[in-house]
Amino acid sequence: MVKDHLPRLRRELGLNAVLANGENASGGLGLSAKSAMELRRIGIDVVTTGNHIWKYPDIRPVLASEPWILRPANFPDQAPGRGAGVYSLGEGFPELAVINLQGRTFMEPIDCPFAAARRLLGTIPEGAVIVVDMHAEATSEKRAMAHLLRGRVHAVVGTHTHVQTNDARVLDGITGYISDLGMCGPEDSCLGMDNDIILQRFQTCLPHRFELSKGACMLNGALIEMDQGKCISIVPWQYREHKEQS
């Protein structure tokens, strides 16, 4: 879906930058080096990730060498890669700073994302537009991060739960927020996976190998407009295969 539609959508929507959480782009779980490079080639400016980033070992040298792909900043310093970056959007535009964080509630033990956020804010150049990907399970933890950073960054967007939320808003006239951007993948699915397999897993409590669902796909995300150091609007966005955009 991204490969087939992003170049055209970028032109039609007049997008200056496209950010995507790509941690499940390889078969619905994890991100391989090949998939990461393909996302870059088709027009993703910055790729953020999350708790499944270490599934494919070949992504580690990419994280270490490529500034456009991030891993959560609150992984230990010994982990490959970086958790934040500053990017040029071209002449006439402010710099874009992206911070990638991961929550701890109902997730693996990891360093504090709130401490990491406070630390990284001090490294961002003055005048940059700052976008934070808070990759977390609990909505409360995502909203808490937004309240920590409100008025200090320009957008805090949640990822990980795969289901787009309906709570997009602008905090204090400066910081755009949405609890989850949603998923790019099969629409008739359980978070992208085959419905029957997931049902068997829940009903039997036995392990089953995940398989991607078949059928029409959708793109989920948000359109964010920035101007004069403020978020002007943040709007949930969907594009469905074989259907009109909604």
Which amino acid, one-letter code, is at 81? G
Out of 5, 52, 147, 154, the active site residue is 52
Q: How far apart are the first and last CA of the chain?
A: 16
**DSSP per-residue string spanning the chain:** -HHHHHHHHHHHHT-S--EEE-TTTTTTSS--HHHHHHHHHTT-SEEE--TTTTSSTTHHHHHHH-TTB---TTS-TTSSS-SEEEE---TTS--EEEEEEE--TTS-----HHHHHHHHHTTSPTT-EEEEEEE-S-HHHHHHHHHHHTTTSSEEEEESS-S--S--EEETTTEEEES----SEESSSBTTB-HHHHHHHHHH-------BPPS-EEEEEEEEEEETTEEEEEEEEEEETTS---
Angle, helix 139-149 to helix 113-121, in steps of 10 degrees:
20
| 154 given a catalytic annotation | no
Positions marked active-site:
52
